[in-house]
Chains A and B, each alone.
Chain A
Amino acid sequence: AQSVTQLDSQVPVFEEAPVELRCNYSSSVSVYLFWYVQYPNQGLQLLLKYLSGSTLVKGINGFEAEFNKSQTSFHLRKPSVHISDTAEYFCAVSDPGTYKYIFGTGTRLKVLA
């Protein structure tokens, strides 16, 4: 069975500092990997996805993630965060044949002034 582990439930960081949100997955088959962001009282918005090809994926709002197959990780990074990045971030995996996501438990990013 697939699973996703987000190692940090909360990450406080000062504005303009870099941040890394960690995500590990387990799966016995090839998977697709995603990061979504959820702002308060909103739905989820796709930040970036890895389907195949280059292991470094660039997304919206200056975020990027690197797929590491040997470590089964897909960590999200941003070199300089803004107050507006305060939100909850979800890592997700999908088995292409199942038409569903398996989500991690989320990481609350709080950017401090």
Chain B
Amino acid sequence: KAGVTQTPRYLIKTRGQQVTLSCSPISGHRSVSWYQQTPGQGLQFLFEYFSETQRNKGNFPGRFSGRQFSNSRSEMNVSTLELGDSALYLCASSLDNPYTTEAFFGQGTRLTVV
């Protein structure tokens, strides 16, 4: 079966711009989580959605937002980009609870802010 698809794979944006990243989960999966990976901070949890409802949110500023659609696809948006937002953004999908059923990660979107 197809894996988790994240688009685009690479993105270069300018400070102050906004960006939208997309994640298509594995068919039948209703939970989608987002993580930010940087060399300095490692992997940090952004948010998790299940059936269009956000069940948890990490400790990120309000510039980071997300949503999930009825087909379980998810998007995250970062407004007013800062240099420090440069990172690999990973999406993971799972059937229900991502921590009792396996979470499958996409290859990520590498965002560079210049």
Contacts and interface: CB of A to CB of B under 8 A. Distances in A.
B98 A99 contact: yes
Contacts of B31: 99
Interface of B: 4, 31, 33, 35, 42-43, 45, 48, 50, 55-56, 58, 90, 92, 97-100, 102-108
B33 to A, nearest CB: 7
Interface residues of A, number: 23
Given A43-B4, A96-B97, A96-B100, A101 B45 contact: yes
Interface stretch (A17-25, A44-52, A74-82): A44-52
B56 A98 contact: yes
Contacts of B107: 41-43
Contacts of B102: 46, 49
Interface in A38-80: 41-46, 49, 51
Contacts of A106: 42-43
Contact of B108 (A43, A90, A101): A43
A111 B55 CA distance: 40
A32 B100 contact: yes
Q: Give the interface SS of chain B, mostly helix, strand, loop or mixed.
A: strand
B99 A96 contact: yes
A45 B27 CA distance: 18
A102 to B, nearest CB: 8
Interface string A72-113: 000000000000000000100010101111111110000000
B101 to A, nearest CB: 10
